[in-house]
Amino acid sequence: MAWGVWAVWAWVEEAPGVEPQRVRTKCTLWVRGEGNAGRRGGAPGDLFVLIDVLPDPVLKRDDTNILYSCKVSYIDAILGTTTKVPTVDGVVDLKIPAGTQPGTTLVMAKKGVPILNRSNMRGDQLVKVQVEIPKRLSGDERKLIEELADLSKAKPLNSRR
């Protein structure tokens, strides 16, 4: 048995028979009959390709789950809203429920990476909500917030939920 080791760096967008969303870093792709030619005219050997997936600048991968951080205003966190969120399949609408707290993680079931060798299973997309609080308020905004604070103080603490 002979082993040939070659270091080849190539940028491959697509490979025949490979679903890009199913592979991950350190996966090995075994391609029969695509290696070096055999000795004395023998059959070519097999090709083993070690996969290195480049990270996405927006979506972070955690095995089959996708992690994403979403910024919403404090008003949208209080009242609720719908926002556009990128996924591995494209942009979708995500409902931010009223009363969402800073740091809440919302789960988008089955919006993650397809699981290798299981065609109907995939991970989740986890969306961490970052609530943006303004550093400066206009006079009118400050007045309204103070009125809201006064209303809130008038209620017993355990009835504010």
Rounded Cα gap, residues 35 and 68, in angstroms: 39
* Domain of 99, in residue numbers: 60-134
pLDDT digits (tens, 9 = 90+) for 57-92: 999 988 889 999 999 999 999 999 999 999 989 999
Residues 83, 35: Cα–Cα separation, whole Å: 49
Q: Is residue 150 part of a domain?
A: no
Question: Where are any strands of DSSP class E within 15-118?
Answer: 28-31, 47-50, 60-62, 65-73, 81-87, 90-96, 105-108
Same domain, 6 and 37: yes
- The CATH number that applies at residue 113 is 2.60.260.20
Query: Do 83 and 126 sit in the same domain of this protein?
Result: yes
**Encoded tokens for 161:** 């939920």
65 and 115 assigned to the same domain? yes
Q: Model-level pTM greater than 0.85?
A: no
Res. 2: pLDDT tops 60: no
CA 39 distance to own-chain centroid: 47
Least Cα distance to 131 among 104, 92, 90, 102 occurs for 102
